[in-house]
A and B are shown apart, each in its own frame.
Chain A
Amino acid sequence: MTGFLLRRLAASLLLLVLVLSAVFFLIHLAPGDPTQILEDPRISAAQRAHLRQVFGLDRPLPEQYAAWLYAVAVRGDWGLSFAQRRPVTALLREALPATALLGTTALVVDFGLGTLLGVAAARRRGSAFDHLIRIVSLMLYSQPVFWLGLMAILLFSHAWHLLPSSHMHAVGAERMGAAESFFDLARHLLLPALVLGVPMAGATARFVRASLLEVMGRDYIRAARAKGLSERRVVWVHGLRNALVPIIQVFALTIPLLLSGSLITEVVFAWPGLGRATFEAILARDYPVILAITALTAVVVIASNFMADVLHAAADPRVREPSQGGRTA
């Protein structure tokens, strides 16, 4: 197990360095320069040159890369935001909790609703109900999140006045008591979390259904039934628990989708998280912020893949063994 862990860890780190390098060079090779946007046209060429020097943009690209890698890896220093003129880490520290809250809630919606739908479909395999769930889940994961968000705002905020349409808190939330403030946050969270989570539940429902059906044909399920256990107990305890093993990997695959979805959701709902920060940074060509957020999302994705591998290996010993020279399909 240790050997397996070390191999996976090394591969993950290598992947991380690759992704970071790719993003760094991609951004710096692209035409355009942040100093063009940073300052108004009245600024002189000499002042612009000075700015380029301050931010290190006048040095050769490999040197900029080495300096950036050193600062990031050794000192944990992500540099200064060109547009906001403050440390990138401060900006990230502000944005990360909002995205984490939105993402976690959406994941709960995703896997909660997805599991319910998937199990319901699997229990009535081949019935009209099963086909209905199949079509409904297909329709769910076909939805454009940004449009769904606008429609949700149109109905729930504008027409029915049920929920707020944007931001994380109401104006004046800082003067609210703890309970009131929590309620206010929950009201603001509900729409974006549903818009992000419900379409993903469509895909999850399919995985749960397929995975559960595969398990339900096994001998231990027949044994559980033969013991006289209730069908509900057989499905939810014996079936679902074993069906969860492949779902662990689906979970890891969900993380990049979730981050991409949250970028759009945050823009639509003006949610003050990483997605909106990325969007603003890109409009301002704020290299250090783009780099830091890309790195952060890559770390999250690679870490979740690593975790999924570890959990999968813990659940299924066959995964741990290195392949014996033969390549598997």
Chain B
Amino acid sequence: MDAQTFTLRWGLGLVAALAALAAAAPLLAPYDPGEQLDPPTAMLRPPGTALAAVRLAGGGWLLADRVERRADGGLLLHRRGRGDEVLAAGQVSNLTAAGVADGRLFLLGSDKFGRDVASRMLYGARVSLAIGVVAVALAASLGIALGALAALGGPVLDMLIMRGLDALLAFPWLFLMVAVSALFRPGTTTLVLILGATAWPYISRLVRAELLSLQQREFILAARAMGQRPVVILFRHLLPNALAPVLVQAVLQVGVLILVESALSFLGIGIQPPTPSWGNMILEGQDELFQAWWVATFPGAALALTVIAFNLLGDGLRDLLDPRRAGATLPGS
């Protein structure tokens, strides 16, 4: 397998797998992402911890490290943080001969509220992927429209758009985004708008360059000589031929924007708790980094893997669709 096939195949495979995991989060997640499973017994448990779950006759659950049936039929609970507790048989509704019928497994550990890290990561994947894709769709629409306007709208418009674009590209985007998202009420919509607004220049510049070079080609001259209207030429001949590099850049931008979204969430001004996002999970895990490494480590690894997946896919697509530029474009550089 050569290198091109390798990047494309792995990129496509990873992105598809991540999208499937995110889409199936409600089916796959063992628990509700916001459910606080009996803290302090369940808080900050390491990956792989299995606890017995005692169903109370009056409703609700108690978690315990170990349960024993007592001679009198009652239940002895060994609970971390609470000591031992005794329940009468009548108080428990899921009794079996040896103990209780249910259990809880924290596959990737639990956080300080006793929430399941794995479940939160699955739901966090939905947030990250959705925001990345929607923001890029927004950036692409804006970028294609303004890029086409710059290329075809005459020299004054071109100058104005390109200078505005230079200003945006010259800017340390994070400072601006941090300022904007701190000043306006943080929320998903604000975040998508900010991300989309900062990503369009990369796409605009590409679209403009593509259109300018396409305009010199014979088939466009022919279409014009045949008297086709400019709008028809734009939509039927120019844009379809300019789409390959735009698609590549869009895929790379999804990775970049997912990274930016989680950076903002990590700074506390992106996705707000209790909605789980990888960025705010890492922020919450930062406080217990030394006592509970898993809370910040796993969401970060998922984040890195996702960005790698989109960069691989973008790279592979470029090698396939746009070999001229192979190895030359980088996301958002």
Contacts and interface: CB of A to CB of B under 8 A. Distances in A.
A169 B169 CA distance: 35
Interface residues of B, number: 57
Contact of B183 (A15, A27, A154, A279): A27
B113 interface: no
Q: Which of B166, B170, B213, B303 gathers most chain A CB within 10 Å?
A: B170
Q: Which 6 A-B pairs have the closest CB atoms?
A: A147-B300, A30-B183, A260-B174, A259-B172, A142-B307, A282-B182
A61 interface: no
A144 B300 contact: yes
A298 B171 contact: yes
B129 interface: no
A282 to B, nearest CB: 4
Interface of A: 11, 15, 18-19, 22-23, 26-27, 30-32, 131, 134-135, 138-139, 141-147, 150-151, 153-154, 158, 203, 206-207, 209-210, 250, 253, 255-257, 259-261, 263-264, 267-268, 278-279, 282-283, 285, 290, 293-294, 297-298, 301-302, 305, 327-329
Interface stretch (B33-41, B76-84, B282-290): B282-290
Nearest to A153: B289
Classify the secondary structure of B's interface with A. Answer: helix
B128 to A, nearest CB: 11
Contacts of A146: 262-263, 266, 282
Contacts of B312: 138
A256 B198 CA distance: 13
A279 B155 contact: no
Contact of B296 (A145, A147, A302): A147
Q: Which of B155, B171, B172, B300 gathers most chain A CB within 10 Å?
A: B172
Interface in B261-284: 262-263, 266-267, 269, 282
Given A15-B166, A150-B286, A264-B267, A141 B262 contact: no
9 contacts: A15-B163, A30-B184, A142-B255, A144-B259, A144-B262, A259-B172, A294-B176, A298-B170, A329-B212
Given A143-B304, A144-B262, A138 B315 contact: yes
A59 B293 CA distance: 51
A207 B185 CA distance: 39
Contacts of A207: 330
Nearest to B268: A283
A206 B293 CA distance: 33
Contacts of A144: 259, 262-263, 266, 282, 300, 303-304, 307
B231 interface: no
A278 B178 CA distance: 9
